[in-house]
Amino acid sequence: MSDEAIPAATLILVRDCAAGPPELLMVERAAGMAFAAGALVFPGGRIDDGDRRLAEQAGITDGAAVAAIRETIEETAVPVGLAPVPDPEASRALQARLVADETFGEVLLDAGLLLDAAELTPFARWVPKFHAVRRFDTLFYVARCPDGDWQPTVIERECAGAYWLTAQEVLDRDRRGQSRLIFPTRRNLERLAQHGSFADIRADALAHPIDPVTPWVEERGGEKFIKIPDHLGYPVTEERLDGLWRG
């Protein structure tokens, strides 16, 4: 495995609920994927050169926000960071063209849509070193789901499923063995589960620095633990290394 981390971006899409905590858009990675196969994760993927070019054209700081928007549409057909917001049918058409490897810039131009990256707020940056297969340098964003009843649409080779779930529901599924989570996803869900609305989540994101989170191993009493910094808003900052799934 190369020691060079792959630049990536992920979007935590949030919709508030009238009764109860907000729901998050989660996708289940396809079983045949090289990294984190079968895991529940947030939509996201690698940042490519097209994302960087499109960001430069749109006057956006870098390609990470563009990649997060593109990947979310490609994996779920739920639009975020676009103006005007397309309707569900138009969003599925965007998804189909992206899955067919058309460039995001061309797809947006043809549809008369503009990027609105201001909808995204940086939440965290994770750069793990202990993954067994691939190592990513991932910038996590949070954004509010557009108004309306957005039901995700998945395409088979992109992911195995997509669901609206509360952070606690996903954590409970993981504890019961009904879902699989990699270390960064579990820590982010624990952090998100502290909050009762998108506004609270965004405030948490703004209240903490976007320092790289690179877990390390500590040994105490003959046991090894994976640890992360304790100043970034995470309520749980360590987990036993024994049995930890690394994707």
List phi, psi (to 5°) of 112: 70, 35
Q: Tens of pLDDT along 39-77?
A: 899 999 999 999 999 999 988 888 999 999 999 999 999
Q: Tens of pLDDT along 202-212?
A: 999 999 999 99
CA dist 195 and 186 (Å) reads: 15
The two structure tokens encoding residue 48: 């490519």
- Domains within the chain, CATH numbers bracketed: 6-207 (3.90.79.10)
Q: What is the pTM (predicted TM-score) of this model? A: 0.92
pLDDT for 128 beyond 80: yes
CB 22 within 8 Å of CB 159: no
Among the listed residues 36, 29, 73, the one whose alpha carbon sits nearest the alpha carbon of residue 51? 73
